[in-house]
Copies of this chain bind each other. A is one copy, B any other.
Amino acid sequence: MSKKNLITFGRAAVDLNATEYNRPMEETMTFSKYVGGSPANVAIGTSKLGLDVGMIAKVSDDQHGNFVLDYMDKAGVDTNYITKDIEGRKIGLTFTEIKSPEECSILMYRDNVADLYLSVNDFDDEYIQSAETLLVSGTSLSQSPSREAALHAIDTAKKHGVEVIVELDYRPYTWKSKEETSIYMTAAARMADVVIGTKDEFDVLENAGGHSDEESVKKLFNHSPQLIVVKHGVKGSKAFTRDGEVIEGDVYKTQVLKTFGAGDSFASGFIYAMKQKKGIKEALKYGSAAASIVVSKHSSSEAMPTVEDIETLIKKHGG
């Protein structure tokens, strides 16, 4: 059996996106349903780009959980290790509000949700060993027993030479304090081969703002990481390698509808290109192009682009 290219680990959820734009959520009367959650989106995004992908997650044993499972199945993601919570916990919900392209906000239902109850007993170490790469979302570290499951998954991957990507994916809602966040985010990032996050998320790692990218990445390079990608939103991104290289990534301007989903599509494009051995510079382009496409559309998961979409966009901007 050939190895899976990627297994993502963590949150699968339901997004309820306002169908009416440019108004406060109070006045939004209709919502459309999509699969959501950063690692679920990356699984869908990379599968759509042609990678062989699986996901380790826990969803609700109800209609919403069924919907997520079905959708991911159809998107080609291996869902054998997406378990159902038999104790009746619900799947997380994210209501999105698009007041304007610059003013997007979210309202999350994350109390006692199924994904935070993913445990070490819900997956086999063999499954992780069957992958080239494991991507763990930082949100899965926010509460027990999902926290221990994530730490165990990373440790298992490391023991067996599986590459580990940590996507910081910081969601304040489920964490108890900044100190706690910093402790576990840092522990996971130190064990990773690749760390991806926004500038703000690296500040959370430090539990302090005001650091330059260079300072943040320097500390992590004392540990396992080989490659660190810091995203600066509309200002582009920067990749740092352990041996001192710094590669800048640009942004493809587009008609922005909302900012949600940008990070997940970036990760999908970036990982796909890295797997194709296109090099870091080119991978940043694939990431930016994918992000650019998703922010111009209504959903995060459903809007994930194809390789053709990405390459067309890159070509349009002169490669």
Contacts and interface: CB of A to CB of B under 8 A. Distances in A.
Interface string A109-143: 10110000000110000000000000000000000
Q: Which 8 A-B pairs have the closest CB atoms?
A: A25-B63, A111-B112, A120-B179, A26-B67, A26-B66, A111-B111, A148-B183, A26-B63
Contacts of A236: none
B66 A93 contact: no
A309 interface: no
A28 B24 contact: no
B144 A176 contact: yes
A180 interface: yes
Interface string A230-243: 00000000000000
B109 A90 contact: yes
15 contacts: A25-B63, A25-B64, A26-B63, A28-B33, A30-B30, A30-B31, A89-B111, A90-B111, A111-B112, A144-B144, A144-B180, A148-B180, A151-B183, A151-B187, A187-B187
B63 A148 contact: no
Interface residues of A, number: 40
A70 B67 CA distance: 32
A16 interface: yes
A104 to B, nearest CB: 13
Contacts of A89: 111
Given A30-B32, A144-B144, 4 more contacts: A63-B95, A64-B95, A89-B111, A121-B179
Contact of A107 (B62, B97, B111): B62
A152 B179 contact: yes
A76 interface: no
Give the oligomeric copy count: 4
B152 A183 contact: yes
A29 B152 CA distance: 36
B120 A64 contact: no
A152 B33 CA distance: 41
Nearest to A29: B33
A144 B144 CA distance: 10
A28 B31 CA distance: 11
A198 interface: no
Contact of A32 (B29, B64, B144): B29
Interface string A266-289: 000000000000000000000000
A181 B64 CA distance: 28
Nearest to A19: B30
A33 B33 contact: no
Contacts of A179: 120-121, 148, 152
Contact of A112 (B32, B67, B112): B112
Find the residue from A19, A29, A31, A33 having the highest chain B CB count within 10 A. Answer: A33
Contacts of A70: 26
